[in-house]
Amino acid sequence: MNIENTAELRLLIECARGGSLTAASREMGITPAAASAMLKKLEARLGVRLAERSTRALRLTMAGERLRDYAQRALELLDEGLALVSEGEAAAGKGRGSQAALRGRIRLSASSDLTRRVVLPLLDGFLDRHPGVELQLSVGDALQDVVRDEVDLALRYGELADSRLVARKLHEGRRLLVASPDYLKRQGRPTHPGELTQHECIRFKIGDRLEREWRFWRRDAMQAAPVDVSVQGRRTADDGGIAHQWALEGRGLTYKSDLDIRDSLASGALVEVLPEWVGRPMPLHALMPSQRFLPLRLKALVDHLAEGLRRP
């Protein structure tokens, strides 16, 4: 089954974005009647209903959502290819070779503490190197649906559960127990995970799930059974950056990814509390909806992040 022209795909994308045929037609510079006829023609040719219509609104069906996702990525690749060919020819004509600049938008989702303390300088460096790339950054610790929320790239800690996504591991890390020197001076330094029950622990919450238990392995006995400790504390946050800040202020112990806290450890603002022990594995992955439709700008950004995160 063929798509007769890219306008049909663009119409589907604009219908989803604007929520109505009127909004979509306005964006495309055609009449609502022409937009309606185009959508009906596409549905008839595919033999499937792509949208549910009412007098005021339009909502894509499951089939429409699926086609919209593929259409959006296909058109982005097409636009990128046209730009690369055009700029490559122009560069060749001026004797500069055939390599063209990267162009287009990247929608990136990442957790708050990782973004502010680690990733932001890497993103700025990438944008400085590629002025034709536009970045839309969504920062927060709530897990986004990469496909549903139209995210091109998500940086996500932990083990992966969604088999629909393409993943590239950027960092192999673990959680560490840390505190400020001031807190340890006032409250004393625990020597075993079991002693954490006597300390103020800054806990983390993701969605409705509160971390009530911290797990540790001895560095010299990683194959042995771990030690699980039920922790308590008066401070709980759903933002990793706030948990980090509370620890810096001496409010308690916290259990953070080594990547998020590496600068605070290097400066001495935080110290590792149980250096003979390590916490849960905390790998960082770059997640993408599909390997089939991977724009060059997205591949270049993932390569850039991987290189930057390898540096100490």
Q: What is the pLDDT of residue 99?
A: 45
pLDDT tens per residue, range 213-241 = 999 999 999 999 999 999 999 999 999 99
What six digits make up the tokens of 270?
Answer: 């935080």
| Residue-range definition of the domain harbouring residue 296 | 101-171+284-310
> When comparing pLDDT for 303 and 95, which is higher?
303
Claim to verify: residue 298 and residue 255 sit in the same structural domain? no
Residue 123 has pLDDT above 90, yes or no: yes
The domain total for the chain is 3
Angle between helices 6-18 and 62-93 in degrees, nearest 10: 120
Q: Distance of CA 15 to CAs 22, 38, 177, Å?
A: 9, 12, 49
Residue where a domain terminates, one of 98, 113, 143: 98
Calculate mean pLDDT across residues 147-157: 79
Give the β-pairing of 277-278 and 227-230. unpaired
Claim to verify: residue 254 and residue 182 sit in the same structural domain? yes
Reading phi first (left if > 0) and then psi (alpha if -120 to 50, else beta), residue 216 is in beta
Taking the C-alpha atoms of residue 82 and residue 247, their distance in angstroms, rounded to an integer, is 50
Claim to verify: residue 106 and residue 56 sit in the same structural domain? no
Residue 203 has pLDDT above 60, yes or no: yes
Claim to verify: residue 190 and residue 137 sit in the same structural domain? no
Q: What is the pLDDT of residue 281?
A: 94
Claim to verify: residue 81 and residue 214 sit in the same structural domain? no
**Predicted confidence band of residue 76 (pLDDT cuts 50, 70, 90):** confident
Residue where a domain terminates, one of 77, 98, 119: 98
Residue 6 has pLDDT above 60, yes or no: yes
For residue 32, give the CATH number of its domain. 1.10.10.10
- Buried b / exposed e over 136-152, threshold 16 CB at 10 Å, is eeebebeebebeeebbb
User: 90: helix, coil or strand?
Assistant: helix
Residue 102 has pLDDT above 80, yes or no: yes
Claim to verify: residue 55 and residue 194 sit in the same structural domain? no
Q: Is 43 exposed, middle or buried (0-12, 13-18, 19+ CB in 10 A)?
A: middle
Calculate mean pLDDT across residues 30-36: 90
Claim to verify: residue 109 and residue 42 sit in the same structural domain? no
Claim to verify: residue 267 and residue 180 sit in the same structural domain? yes
For residue 255, give the CATH number of its domain. 3.40.190.290
Claim to verify: residue 49 and residue 81 sit in the same structural domain? yes
Claim to verify: residue 75 and residue 158 sit in the same structural domain? no
Claim to verify: residue 107 and residue 93 sit in the same structural domain? no
**Predicted confidence band of residue 54 (pLDDT cuts 50, 70, 90):** confident
Predicted TM-score (pTM) of this structure: 0.72
For residue 109, give the CATH number of its domain. 3.40.190.10
Claim to verify: residue 144 and residue 238 sit in the same structural domain? no
